[in-house]
A and B are shown apart, each in its own frame.
Chain A
């Protein structure tokens, strides 16, 4: 049975369509990622699936329960960690978890031990009696994950679990999610606008943009689905973009051996290639021949960034997060 089934789910705010006929299914025990930039509609989609917002049209079942007609059934089956931090700053970590345990009707005899266990699972056991007000963002996010698991849900929704965290905390949260999933076979639906997060954590990824689902597959297959295996990026020093000479030069670049697609953004040229090194060697030769000086050249394997660019025609706003690229300019000087 599928843990989540979404069929043409749509949400409109007045004239504006935040989520537009989105359909997908998530298998039991799967970690599924919704990847999209700010305003893509990820939170709205999660809010509909977690019964916080009524859908305009379409249908969905979560844990076998209809999100509209059996909202209560859905609520019992799921754990939710919303995008905003929702734990009570004026309560301790332990009190936060305990109160949720009561709200979910966890048996009285199990509450205390369960709370201790969960706080240990998120590495907060030594802070359990501290006010949440004093917690860092990462600690607070981990507490919310513990709180969301208090009734042993089968399905967990995480809305941007690592936004605003430093790299160490992010890695912590990733490891925790991974561990939880392996241990209990939890189904996890998470949203993110970090490529590396989606790549590392998720078995399958749905790319959402402007409320529409534009691609859905495993990270590997998504990368395979775009032409070229490598991506070459180059910047040139003495050639202002937009001039006739620039346009002519772009035309030349399209003729490069192995090049599949050429695009430009903010004066930097983006070439997908079936063989990065071959394309780069040829690019350097032609530039030298025309007296164009190359400021920077990088080559790397296709990332989800390129997948995103391919499917949406836009670079993700947080492209910088995608990790260092290999700068090979000096090799050709």
Chain B
């Protein structure tokens, strides 16, 4: 009786899985269609500047100063097109339409606006906003503040000898949202391969009794687990690399073809795939019902994808969500991929993530081998 692991048997399990994988394009296609679709739709839906917001204007002043203000508003309407303005005769009318959603904000110029401007008597305009939509109001608010600042500008300049001016240095050029999203889509394609190839197919084979055929042979638990994990990781790398290249072209990543960058990408994809597939096998190791992996697909997707920082930075998370992101292999994959794709960092930008992902893999696979049931 020999202890130790037989590489040939691991190879046999790997070969079986890969042959099945190449024979059925369904897995490869489904692991690519969803992440690409997500990349394109979310990338374009979230990426753009918001335009043509409808704003109500109630001008009770109709003086010289209010005319200046109106002209400023008109110039935004013509220029950046953030909003367009309709005149309303009374504030209650305008607020009624605001509540009904016909306008997103109301700008109210009180009857004494011009007089107060001329008398330097704290002139005020009111900005009433529909704050149920964060994205719209934040863009609108930004514009209105700019407007107010430009109205105040000559006054401030006259009063203060030197305004403090903060200079912002942007290290990288402006990143479009679709580029920001790409790392998440790549991780997603690996997740789908792990979920379908590692979860659903594994449990289906178990339920179909195919495993019984392998369990009667002298194969060891560790060999079976390693073989299945390696096959899953290999499939994950293939899907991930495909999305990296196709997605990279769609999002317009520059100099994607640098050999060293591709090598680092491959390294990250391998570590991420291994971690993701061993995570999945550990979840599935004792499951026998083919419905289970299908039922938890969405749960795992949400639990792993959104806390990873793929679509929103984790700095904005509450504490509990931060903790999920710490133990989520997605987080490290997305972080390393962002470094490579957005900033083209070298090894220094990924070694920590790769190290953590490989550590995860060893830990998860050991648990998997310990829990795997050799007998039925």
Taken together as a complex, chains A and B put the C-alpha atoms of A95 and B17 apart, in Å, by 12
Please name all residues of chain A whose beta carbon is closer than 8 Å to the beta carbon of B16 when the two chains form the complex: 88, 91, 95, 99
Q: Is the interface of B mostly helix, strand, loop or mixed?
A: helix
A100 touches B217 (CB 8 A): yes
Q: How far is the CB of A128 from chain B (nearest CB, A)?
A: 15
Among A73, A75, A86, A103, max chain B CB count under 10 A is at A103
Tell yes or no: B23 within 8 A of A by CB. Answer: yes
Please name all residues of chain B whose beta carbon is closer than 8 Å to the beta carbon of A76 when the two chains form the complex: 218
Residue of B nearest to A85 (CB): B209
Residue of B nearest to A87 (CB): B213
Taken together as a complex, chains A and B put the C-alpha atoms of A67 and B15 apart, in Å, by 30
Taken together as a complex, chains A and B put the C-alpha atoms of A164 and B11 apart, in Å, by 34
Residue of A nearest to B223 (CB): A103
Tell yes or no: B262 within 8 A of A by CB. Answer: no
The interface stretch among B1-9, B126-134, B320-328 is B1-9
Taken together as a complex, chains A and B put the C-alpha atoms of A85 and B207 apart, in Å, by 12
Tell yes or no: B19 within 8 A of A by CB. Answer: yes
Tell yes or no: B215 within 8 A of A by CB. Answer: yes
Please name all residues of chain A whose beta carbon is closer than 8 Å to the beta carbon of B210 when the two chains form the complex: 86-88
A75 touches B20 (CB 8 A): no
Tell yes or no: B375 within 8 A of A by CB. Answer: yes
A86 touches B1 (CB 8 A): no
Q: How far is the CB of B78 from chain A (nearest CB, A)?
A: 63
For chain A, residues 74 to 113, give those with C-beta under 8 angstroms from any C-beta of chain B. 75-76, 78, 80, 82, 84-88, 90-91, 95, 99-100, 102-105
Partner of B216, one of A50, A90, A99, A102: A50
Total number of residue pairs linking A and B with CB closer than 8 Å: 78
Taken together as a complex, chains A and B put the C-alpha atoms of A52 and B216 apart, in Å, by 7
Tell yes or no: A53 within 8 A of B by CB. Answer: yes
Tell yes or no: A70 within 8 A of B by CB. Answer: yes
Taken together as a complex, chains A and B put the C-alpha atoms of A78 and B16 apart, in Å, by 22
Q: A51-B375, A84-B209 are in contact. Are A90 and B23 (CB under 8 A)?
A: yes
A91 touches B376 (CB 8 A): no
Tell yes or no: B214 within 8 A of A by CB. Answer: yes
Tell yes or no: B12 within 8 A of A by CB. Answer: yes
Taken together as a complex, chains A and B put the C-alpha atoms of A80 and B216 apart, in Å, by 7
Tell yes or no: B219 within 8 A of A by CB. Answer: yes
B213 touches A47 (CB 8 A): no
B218 touches A103 (CB 8 A): yes
Partner of A90, one of B24, B211, B214: B24
Among B16, B24, B208, B211, max chain A CB count under 10 A is at B16
Q: A88-B16, A105-B6 are in contact. Are A82 and B209 (CB under 8 A)?
A: yes
Contact pattern, A 53-84, Cβ under 8 Å of B = 1, otherwise 0 = 11000000000000000101101101010101
Q: A82-B216, A103-B9 are in contact. Are A53 and B20 (CB under 8 A)?
A: no
Taken together as a complex, chains A and B put the C-alpha atoms of A229 and B15 apart, in Å, by 58
Tell yes or no: B212 within 8 A of A by CB. Answer: yes
Please name all residues of chain A whose beta carbon is closer than 8 Å to the beta carbon of B24 when the two chains form the complex: 90
For chain B, residues 14 to 42, give those with C-beta under 8 angstroms from any C-beta of chain A. 15-16, 19-20, 23-24
B217 touches A103 (CB 8 A): yes
B216 touches A53 (CB 8 A): no
Taken together as a complex, chains A and B put the C-alpha atoms of A213 and B15 apart, in Å, by 43
Number of residues in A with C-beta < 8 Å to the partner?
A: 31
B217 touches A52 (CB 8 A): no
Taken together as a complex, chains A and B put the C-alpha atoms of A102 and B16 apart, in Å, by 11
A54 touches B375 (CB 8 A): yes
Partner of B9, one of A86, A95, A102: A102
Please name all residues of chain A whose beta carbon is closer than 8 Å to the beta carbon of B218 when the two chains form the complex: 72, 75-76, 103-105
Residue of A nearest to B217 (CB): A103
Residue of A nearest to B2 (CB): A72
Q: A84-B209, A88-B20, A90-B24 are in contact. Are A102 and B12 (CB under 8 A)?
A: yes
B375 touches A53 (CB 8 A): yes
Please name all residues of chain B whose beta carbon is closer than 8 Å to the beta carbon of A73 when the two chains form the complex: 1
Contact pattern, A 299-318, Cβ under 8 Å of B = 1, otherwise 0 = 00000000000000000000
Taken together as a complex, chains A and B put the C-alpha atoms of A144 and B9 apart, in Å, by 19
Contact pattern, B 143-163, Cβ under 8 Å of A = 1, otherwise 0 = 000000000000000000000
Residue of A nearest to B210 (CB): A86
Q: How far is the CB of B202 from chain A (nearest CB, A)?
A: 13
22 contacts between A and B (CB under 8 A): A51-B216, A52-B212, A52-B375, A75-B218, A82-B209, A82-B212, A82-B213, A85-B209, A86-B211, A86-B212, A87-B210, A87-B213, A88-B16, A90-B19, A90-B24, A91-B16, A91-B23, A95-B16, A100-B217, A103-B9, A103-B217, A131-B23
Residues of A within 8 A of B (CB): 47, 50-54, 70, 72-73, 75-76, 78, 80, 82, 84-88, 90-91, 95, 99-100, 102-105, 131, 144, 147
